[in-house]
Amino acid sequence: MTTTFTPWEAVELELVAQTYGDPDWTVKRIAEKLERSENEIYAAAKLLGVQRPKRRLDYARIAELKSQGLSDDTIANLLGCSKGGVQGALRSMNEKQHVEKRKQRELREKTNKPWQPKEKQFLADHYSKPNWDCHRIAVELRRSEASVYRKAFDLGLKKGKAA
């Protein structure tokens, strides 16, 4: 199938220049008005140096629609954006969740920070109490159980006996 190129008329280029940057005009609408393909509109806009306004996608709405089981195409049609825009938003949200999970994991992991006198005192006061197990102390001090056991050993603390 061969496509013949129809030269642009000045009136057509002027319409593209005036409407392409207007968010109320979709590329599809401009193409229909001029009886040209969307690709031709993109090419003319590039030639004229006009750009579409940047749209901020509603990430929360995209996540909500995705959780309802809608496809990327359907979401794009509902929000009036491209499928690629929806996919990019979903990737970005996934990356943000991944970064947040990594930050939370790093907070729980070993930090190698020195023990403060208040922490040592708390450990000495609670380690021998039967209702304060090592896990509970570790959570309270935001340290690993291994570090609590090690510091208790270093301080000569024993479970079930007063310090």
Confidence at residue 108, expressed as pLDDT on a 0 to 100 scale: 63
Confidence tier at 163 by pLDDT (50, 70, 90): very low
Q: What is the pLDDT of residues 24-35, one digit of tens each?
A: 888 899 999 999
pTM, two decimals, is 0.39
- Is residue 16 over pLDDT 90? yes
Read off the tokens for 63.
Answer: 């996540």
Q: What is the pLDDT of residues 120-162, one digit of tens each?
A: 999 999 998 988 998 899 989 988 888 899 999 999 998 875 4
- Is residue 38 over pLDDT 50? yes
Supply the DSSP string of the chain, one letter for each residue.
Answer: ---PPPPPPHHHHHHHHHHTT-TTS-HHHHHHHHT--HHHHHHHHHHHT--PPP----HHHHHHHHHTT--HHHHHHHHTS-HHHHHHHHHHHHHHHHHHHHHHHHHHS---PPPPHHHHHHHHHHTTSTT--HHHHHHHHT--HHHHHHHHHHHT--TTS--
